[in-house]
Amino acid sequence: MFLRFRRARRCQCVQLMTTCLVLSVVMVCWEQLDNSVVSHVKSYSYRYLVNRFIDINKSLTIPHEQARTFSNFPYLLDHPDKCAGRDVFLLLFVKTSPENTDRRKAVRSTWGNETYIQNTLGVTVKVVFALGAARKGEGINFQKRLIQEDRLHGDLIQQDFLDSFHNLTLKLILQFHWMHSRCAHAHFFMTADDDIFVHVPNLVGYLQDVRSRGVTHFWVGRVHRGAPPIRSKDSKYYVPFEMYQWLAYPDYTAGAGYVVSSDVADKVYQATLTLNASLYIDDVFMGICANAVGVTPQEHVYFAGEGKAPYHMCIYDQMMTSHGHVEDIYDLWKAATHPQVKQWTSGLTGRLYCTAVKMVLLCKPYYFNTYPCKAAFL
More confident residue, 23 or 62: 62
**Within this chain, do residues 70 and 31 fall inside the same structural domain, yes or no?**
no
Q: Kindly state whether residue 58 falls inside one of the protein's structural domains.
A: no
pLDDT tens, residue by residue, 108-155: 999 999 999 999 999 999 999 999 999 876 667 889 999 999 999 999
Q: What is the mean pLDDT of the chain?
A: 88
Task: Write down which residue in 242, 271, 299 finishes a domain.
Answer: 299
Q: Where are the beta strands (DSSP E) in the chain?
A: 75-77, 88-95, 124-133, 156-162, 188-193, 196-198, 219-221, 223-224, 252-253, 257-261, 298-299, 321-323
pLDDT digits over 235-292, tens only? 999 999 999 988 899 999 999 999 999 999 999 999 999 999 999 999 999 999 999 9
What percent of the chain has a predicted confidence (pLDDT) above 70? 84
CATH classification of the domain holding 122: 3.90.550
304 within some domain: no
- Co-location of 127 and 170 in the same domain: yes
Please check the confidence at residue 28 and state whether its pLDDT lies above 50: no
Query: Has residue 326 been placed in a domain?
Result: yes
Is 71 within 8 Å of 173 (Cβ atoms)?
yes
**Could you tell me if 109 and 230 lie in one domain?**
yes
3-state SS, residue 149: helix
Same domain, 194 and 339: no
**Residues 23 and 94 placed together within one structural domain of the fold:** no
> Considering its fold, how many domains does the chain have in total?
3
Tell me what pLDDT residue 373 has.
Answer: 92
Q: What residue numbers bound the domain in which 17 lies?
A: 1-51
- Say if 241 falls within a structural domain: yes
Q: What is the pLDDT of residues 311-363, one digit of tens each?
A: 999 999 999 999 999 999 999 999 999 999 999 999 999 999 999 999 999 99
Residues 91 and 181 in one domain: yes
Residue 229 and residue 365 share a domain: no
- Do residues 128 and 270 share a domain? yes
Describe the crossing of helices 282-292 and 262-272 by its angle, rounded to 10 degrees.
100
Whether residues 172 and 228 share a domain: the answer is: yes
Highest mean pLDDT among 18-27, 33-42, 109-118, 355-364: 109-118
Q: Is residue 173 part of a domain?
A: yes
Residue 60 lies in a domain: no
| 171 and 287 part of one domain | yes
- Distances, alpha carbon 228 to alpha carbons 35, 38, 245, 250, 292, in Å: 9, 10, 11, 9, 18
Q: Are residues 323 and 294 in the same domain?
A: no
Q: Answer whether residue 267 is part of any domain.
A: yes
The amino acid that residue 292 corresponds to is A
Q: Note whether residue 371 is domain-resident.
A: yes
Tell if the pTM clears 0.95, that is, is over it. Answer: no
Residue 252 to residues 35, 116, 291, 360, Cα–Cα distance (Å): 20, 31, 9, 29
Are residues 78 and 153 both part of a single domain? Answer: yes
